[in-house]
Structure 1
Amino acid sequence: MSRLSTSAGCSRECWGSHRQNSASKPEEGTGLKLKLKLKHKVTLAFLVLIVLPFIVVGWISAYVAVDTIKEEVGSTTLQLVKQNHVTIDKTISAINDRTVTLLDNHFFSNPAGYSFWTGIDTLNEIQQADNILESWSTGGTEYAIYMRNIERRDTPFDLSHKTKGFKYLDNDAGGLPDAMVSNMDDSGGGALRITHAETGEQTISFMRSILNPRDYNEAIGLLVVNKVEVLLTRDMVSVEVPSAAGIFLFNDKDELLMSAGSGSISLAEIDKNIGPAGPYGFTFAEEGGEEWLYAYSDSPKFHTRLLYKIPLASITGKQIWLQNMLVIISVVFLAFVLTFVLYLVRLVVKPVVKLVSVMKIYEPGKTLSWTEEPLRHDEFGILYGSFVKMTKRLDYSIEENYVMQLKQKEYELLMLQSQITPHYLYNTLDSIYWYALDSGNTEVGEMVRDLSMLLRIGLSKGRKMITAGEELEHAQAYTRLQEKRYPDTFEVCWQIDETLSGYETPKVIIQPLIENAIIHGVRGMDGEGEIRVSAVQSEDTLRFIVEDNGHLPVDPDELSAIMQEEHSPKGYGIRNVHQRIQLHYGEAYGLTYERSDEGWTRAIITLPLRKPPE
């Protein structure tokens, strides 16, 4: 029942109670039902239907959205850390390969070279050894070889002061820094260490033991590459970080090898906020009254750890400020609306109460006693003056009209609620996009823009059919995201007939084919993968063609069989595309597979050439 009919029922009940009270015969059960006044009902409806949903949506926007943004920021930063660490590993690998080549050329593959390095005792031989090591010193690094003086050779002058080139050691490795002495037992493996010259200058050294070619269990010397930081600095400073943030590189001894940025960190802080963890990850922690993002990557190849420490406020500060501002504005707006609603309740309820009093004393054939209070000169005054002349037919018409309006409002409310989630999602992605551009991170901004396009076209406001141009935009946005996910792995070539962009197509039918081409075809091809996407007209049909040169052989007949198996766990994506096309256009259309003349896997979608309805 509508509110009007409920009020009418209450009025008749009250009227019956009034008659019985007049006759001094109270009715049993009267007053047992809890009845709210109209103004209380309106206030309660306002709180339940407007204030409560507004608070719930505001909470989701203010808190859940922030958590989501933090997770996205953490994941993106982690990918940056991993990529940066790969670059550093490549630099260290280059140094490692050179040291292996040097030892192989001068010790293991050259018996004369081994005799030369273990028998140096003249000034000419020392200069020759220094010249050889100088020729290997490139990019600002300095190569040095420390040999055990096994045969107790006497050199023409003291070599203990040298920091590069050739130098003899006593059998107890005297004259080596502690870091070098500990590395003498690494059985030929390379390691990064912090060393200090006699002048107190600190440097990063890559060192490996020189094993005896005749007995691999004996270390006869140490090959050291000093000033490795010259090469690592370019990899560290290539990433721009916010103020107060820092990038830190540690070795397997938890020594801080290098750092970039103005931030600082301690081992106690790492143990507290990260602790034992996997080979990579990110976390958020409070430190010094501020929340920080810690993203790290461990390399098993050279036992190094790259750690980013970034103040979260420098990344999401503007977004959090905006969320807080929206909460404050919402609270002020709700207070204003509540005040206005209470005013309207007072303005409307007072004349309604008069109408209720008339309904209580109304009885067909009985003369009404009018009050001397003048009628209001508004709609309620007119309604009050003419209410006694209304009939049941008018009551029924008003009630029927109100019910129709109520259903319409409920339908509008449902439509509005169905749009709330995409609306806030698009606004949030748009905010992240502009924030990324303002921060100079255009790559993240482009990824967020592509994700927003992917969602908008994928949802399409509930539409099942879109234009070929929109479908291709959706596929291109997905492809750009995958190219950033698998950088330097594959290339995508687009061959599109622009005249076909206005024709009709079911949505999201190209993206599953591109996804299959990436995952099952070119993902592991290290830059040699290629995908071609074409949109062509063939007579009266529109064809989308996706080809890839994947290294795994594909049987088109097997794929065709998979598309026909309803309950097969394989091929759900392509089977869904094929069935949706045939559902719309019949069995003459759909998805087929074949091998191209080049040996590529080719997926072909065939659709009728139709314009969307106006």
Structure 2
Amino acid sequence: MNRLLQKMVRIFHLQKFKNRILAALIVLSILPILLLGFISYNLANQALVKNHIENNQSRLKTTSETSDVIFRNIINTQRLILSDQTLRQELIQSGSSRSNDQDIIGWQTYAILQRILSNYLVDQRYIDSVCVLDNAFRSVCYGRSNLIDSYQNNPRRISQTLWYQKSLEAKGKEIFIDYNVLENKPDTFSSVKLLLNPEQFSREPIGLLVVNIKKSLFSNMLDERESEGMIILDSSDGVVKTVYDSRPDSDPMYTIDSLSFVLQELEKKGYITSHYTNQTTGWTYLSVMKNEDLFRDSVQIRTATFAIAILITLLVLILSVFLSSKITSPIRQIKNMMMDWSKGTGTTTASDKDELELIGGTFKQITTENRSLNEQLIRSQLKGKEAELRALQAQINPHFLYNTLDSIYWMAMIDKNEQISKMTVALSESFKISLNHGKETIPLSKELEHIKHYVTIQNIRFSNRFQYIQDVEEQLLDKMILKLILQPMIENAITHGLERKVGKGTVKLIGRLESETMIFIVEDDGIGIEDLAVTEMGYGLQNIRERLLLYYGPESSFEINSVVNQGTIVEIRLPKDKEGS
């Protein structure tokens, strides 16, 4: 082994100190660069997969909650149909009839069904058809023919189907089936409800209600990219079946294996998956994406990384040759001085220039690294501010509030209380604008819409005591501003200025664009503020000040002026060049 090493040393002329320094510089410089490029590429891929899964998990949850709202609207439609006493009597009479006489459900039942659905205010664009069947499985349908394609020769075969048995087991609870139970229509699926007589203690069945739903509700909800796919699976019967698949040319899944096995098979085929379970249906919402599609941009990063590494390697080779000569030059000078001294020449011409250049080069390197560290520190501070901004804008669980508002709306509909219905719709729309899909900024027009919903709610509460005047330049309406900045000012004006005032009050919003600055003024004719300093220290105003400072910086301003028993004026100035960033 030692002989082999010595032979290699002789072949590469490493006996010379200069060549040894050159070899050491090459090994210590090139290998770490290549290793760093390899590690950086793998870490970037891991981070890319992690961010993709986290983002898709959040998107799937939002999609599921949005579809839950639609499913609940359909469930409420079914319950509204059952609540109609005339329709129940039609079903009871038709179910007890054994002949084709006039007691059988027909055009009168259709008219009742049409009236109920026409008066129902919730969006019905995803409902394909609605069919009511009596206990003899005679049907009346709204949105399609009364003939049931799959059972028109023998409707009583419906009682032998699995979906009908599931509706009996549900005992009046609404169930969702992954296919259209009445006809071969692959772009729809069904919701089935066994109709029980609420007027009887025994709650005997009086019929069946089938709502066929368009699968387009899924594609319309999703912000699908070309490289991503969305699959919805139903595994409620111990069999995994495909409800919806957005991928083109994909075969439907139908397997007796578990859902976990399906996920493993997709991963073996090169898919990255994220999944979420829908609360209403129990279906699994699955997001899939091919590895090569996710890493397509990463391959370009890898190519650029190795290209830079090769370029740096060439530069290191050149610099290594130059530096090895510079490092060994003082040794050669000392060697020559020793040889001259031994010959009695007495020459002492030695240069200390290399040492100074080494110190200068080290100082430049320290300066460069210090600049890089400062840039990293600034980026870390910016991320901290962004995290603080998001913490200040933390929001409540939208799923809970949507369900609550939906319940209030239906209670008001049943009691025919238009004021509560109107207030609930205004609050729901206001809440949707506040959420804004998690975005920090919204168009000014949306913020103004939010204000109008809030004023509507307050005027319902206080019998139209407040007049809201809006004077905003049209060129500002499409400008992006930080959300929930102007609405709290209107809220403060009404709550602290106009509610305590005797009689009616007015609050006015003025919006102007001057040069590069957006100016908003909120003024009221309320009771004013006695102690302005204490008011400005309140949590609400402090929150707005901090958000303005974090997002817009010192270029923004927030001023309050008030006169007791005359009113209050609030002025907000925002830089125009920050909008939409």
Q: TM-score, normalised by structure 1?
A: 0.53
The equivalences for 1:280-291 within 5 A come to 287=266, 289-291=268-270
TM-superposition CA deviations, 1:134-165 (whole Å, max 9, x none): 8748954251314179xxxxxxxxx9988689
Note the residue ranges of structure 2 that are not aligned, 5 or more in a row. Answer: 1-15, 118-126, 138-145, 390-432, 449-470, 492-507, 576-581
Which residue of structure 1 aligns with residue 301 of structure 2? 323
Per the TM alignment, residue 192 of structure 1 is displaced from its structure 2 partner at its CA by 0.8
2:446 is the alignment partner of 1:491? yes
Which residue of structure 2 aligns with residue 121 of structure 1? 98
Which residue of structure 2 aligns with residue 561 of structure 1? 537
Question: Is the alpha carbon distance of 1:328 and 1:59 closer, same or farther for their aligned partners in structure 2, counting shifts above 3 Å?
Answer: closer
Asked if the contact 1:248/1:307 (under 8 Å) is kept, the reply is: yes
The equivalences for 1:180-191 within 5 A come to 180-191=164-175
2:489 and 2:318 mapped to 1: Cα distance?
63
Per the TM alignment, residue 81 of structure 1 is displaced from its structure 2 partner at its CA by 3.3
Per the TM alignment, residue 102 of structure 1 is displaced from its structure 2 partner at its CA by 1.9
Per the TM alignment, residue 357 of structure 1 is displaced from its structure 2 partner at its CA by 0.6
Q: 2:244 aligns with which of 258, 265, 270?
A: 258
Asked if the contact 2:489/2:522 (under 8 Å) is kept, the reply is: no
Question: Is the alpha carbon distance of 1:241 and 1:267 closer, same or farther for their aligned partners in structure 2, counting shifts above 3 Å?
Answer: farther
The equivalences for 1:269-308 within 5 A come to 270-272=259-261, 287=266, 289-308=268-287
Question: Is the alpha carbon distance of 1:217 and 1:292 closer, same or farther for their aligned partners in structure 2, counting shifts above 3 Å?
Answer: farther
Which residue of structure 2 aligns with residue 212 of structure 1? 197
2:209 is the alignment partner of 1:224? yes
Q: Which moved more, 1:93-102 or 1:112-121?
A: 112-121
Asked if the contact 2:30/2:313 (under 8 Å) is kept, the reply is: no
Asked if the contact 1:187/1:217 (under 8 Å) is kept, the reply is: no
Asked if the contact 2:17/2:328 (under 8 Å) is kept, the reply is: no
Question: Is the alpha carbon distance of 1:267 and 1:160 closer, same or farther for their aligned partners in structure 2, counting shifts above 3 Å?
Answer: same
The equivalences for 1:527-542 within 5 A come to none
Asked if the contact 1:591/1:603 (under 8 Å) is kept, the reply is: yes
1:268 and 1:598 mapped to 2: Cα distance?
74
Amino acid at match of 1:368: T
1:43 and 1:548 mapped to 2: Cα distance?
77
SS of residue paired to 1:257: strand
Amino acid at match of 2:169: D
1:350 and 1:297 mapped to 2: Cα distance?
66
Per the TM alignment, residue 417 of structure 1 is displaced from its structure 2 partner at its CA by 6.0
Asked if the contact 1:144/1:164 (under 8 Å) is kept, the reply is: no
2:218 is the alignment partner of 1:235? yes
1:88 and 1:410 mapped to 2: Cα distance?
57
Per the TM alignment, residue 601 of structure 1 is displaced from its structure 2 partner at its CA by 10
Question: Is the alpha carbon distance of 1:135 and 1:111 closer, same or farther for their aligned partners in structure 2, counting shifts above 3 Å?
Answer: closer
1:561 and 1:260 mapped to 2: Cα distance?
53
2:567 and 2:285 mapped to 1: Cα distance?
43
TM-superposition CA deviations, 1:7-53 (whole Å, max 9, x none): xxxxxxxxxxxxxxxxxxxxxxxxxxxxx966656665676678646
Which residue of structure 2 aligns with residue 3 of structure 1? none
Question: Is the alpha carbon distance of 1:408 and 1:599 closer, same or farther for their aligned partners in structure 2, counting shifts above 3 Å?
Answer: same
How large is the Cα RMSD of the aligned pairs? 6.1
SS of residue paired to 1:323: helix
1:189 and 1:214 mapped to 2: Cα distance?
17
2:343 is the alignment partner of 1:390? no
Asked if the contact 2:178/2:234 (under 8 Å) is kept, the reply is: no
SS of residue paired to 1:329: helix
Asked if the contact 2:189/2:215 (under 8 Å) is kept, the reply is: no
Amino acid at match of 2:193: R
Which residue of structure 2 aligns with residue 66 of structure 1? 45
The equivalences for 1:81-480 within 5 A come to 81-106=60-85, 112-113=89-90, 115-125=92-102, 128-129=105-106, 132-133=109-110, 136=113, 140-147=128-135, 175-194=159-178, 204-225=189-210, 228-229=212-213, 231-236=214-219, 239=222, 240=224, 242=226, 245-250=229-234, 252-253=236-237, 255-261=241-247, 262-263=249-250, 265=253, 268=257, 270-272=259-261, 287=266, 289-314=268-293, 316-344=294-322, 348=326, 352-361=330-339, 367-368=344-345, 388=347, 390=349, 395=352, 399-400=355-356, 402-416=358-372
Per the TM alignment, residue 485 of structure 1 is displaced from its structure 2 partner at its CA by 2.0
Per the TM alignment, residue 176 of structure 1 is displaced from its structure 2 partner at its CA by 3.7
1:196 and 1:54 mapped to 2: Cα distance?
58
Question: Is the alpha carbon distance of 1:132 and 1:349 closer, same or farther for their aligned partners in structure 2, counting shifts above 3 Å?
Answer: same
2:568 and 2:278 mapped to 1: Cα distance?
37
Question: Is the alpha carbon distance of 1:595 and 1:54 closer, same or farther for their aligned partners in structure 2, counting shifts above 3 Å?
Answer: farther
Question: Is the alpha carbon distance of 1:576 and 1:305 closer, same or farther for their aligned partners in structure 2, counting shifts above 3 Å?
Answer: closer
Asked if the contact 1:521/1:548 (under 8 Å) is kept, the reply is: no
Question: Is the alpha carbon distance of 1:412 and 1:495 closer, same or farther for their aligned partners in structure 2, counting shifts above 3 Å?
Answer: farther
SS of residue paired to 2:280: coil
1:273 and 1:544 mapped to 2: Cα distance?
57
Per the TM alignment, residue 220 of structure 1 is displaced from its structure 2 partner at its CA by 1.3
TM-superposition CA deviations, 1:57-96 (whole Å, max 9, x none): x356413333333333334434543454455444433432
Amino acid at match of 1:336: L
Per the TM alignment, residue 320 of structure 1 is displaced from its structure 2 partner at its CA by 2.3
Asked if the contact 1:591/1:605 (under 8 Å) is kept, the reply is: yes
Asked if the contact 1:293/1:311 (under 8 Å) is kept, the reply is: yes
Per the TM alignment, residue 416 of structure 1 is displaced from its structure 2 partner at its CA by 4.9
Amino acid at match of 1:232: K
Question: Is the alpha carbon distance of 1:578 and 1:321 closer, same or farther for their aligned partners in structure 2, counting shifts above 3 Å?
Answer: closer
Q: TM-score, normalised by structure 2?
A: 0.55
Question: Is the alpha carbon distance of 1:598 and 1:180 closer, same or farther for their aligned partners in structure 2, counting shifts above 3 Å?
Answer: farther
Question: Is the alpha carbon distance of 1:420 and 1:160 closer, same or farther for their aligned partners in structure 2, counting shifts above 3 Å?
Answer: closer
Asked if the contact 1:535/1:543 (under 8 Å) is kept, the reply is: yes
1:599 and 1:132 mapped to 2: Cα distance?
61
1:481 and 1:61 mapped to 2: Cα distance?
40
Per the TM alignment, residue 190 of structure 1 is displaced from its structure 2 partner at its CA by 0.7
SS of residue paired to 2:71: helix
SS of residue paired to 1:320: helix
The equivalences for 1:519-534 within 5 A come to none
Which residue of structure 1 aligns with residue 5 of structure 2? none
Asked if the contact 1:39/1:349 (under 8 Å) is kept, the reply is: no
Per the TM alignment, residue 180 of structure 1 is displaced from its structure 2 partner at its CA by 1.0
2:159 and 2:230 mapped to 1: Cα distance?
35
2:305 and 2:315 mapped to 1: Cα distance?
15
Question: Is the alpha carbon distance of 1:571 and 1:234 closer, same or farther for their aligned partners in structure 2, counting shifts above 3 Å?
Answer: closer
2:225 and 2:566 mapped to 1: Cα distance?
46
Per the TM alignment, residue 177 of structure 1 is displaced from its structure 2 partner at its CA by 1.0
Note the residue ranges of structure 1 that are not aligned, 5 or more in a row. Answer: 1-35, 150-158, 275-284, 370-387, 426-450, 459-479, 499-510, 524-529, 564-569, 608-614
Per the TM alignment, residue 166 of structure 1 is displaced from its structure 2 partner at its CA by 13
Asked if the contact 2:472/2:510 (under 8 Å) is kept, the reply is: yes
Amino acid at match of 1:491: K
TM-superposition CA deviations, 1:268-313 (whole Å, max 9, x none): 4632476xxxxxxxxxx78464442323333323433322222232
Question: Is the alpha carbon distance of 1:63 and 1:495 closer, same or farther for their aligned partners in structure 2, counting shifts above 3 Å?
Answer: farther
Amino acid at match of 2:370: L
Question: Is the alpha carbon distance of 1:291 and 1:163 closer, same or farther for their aligned partners in structure 2, counting shifts above 3 Å?
Answer: closer
Q: Give the percent of matched residue pairs that are identical in Structure 1 and Structure 2.
A: 7
Asked if the contact 1:148/1:221 (under 8 Å) is kept, the reply is: no
TM-superposition CA deviations, 1:247-281 (whole Å, max 9, x none): 2243754653333324455574632476xxxxxxx
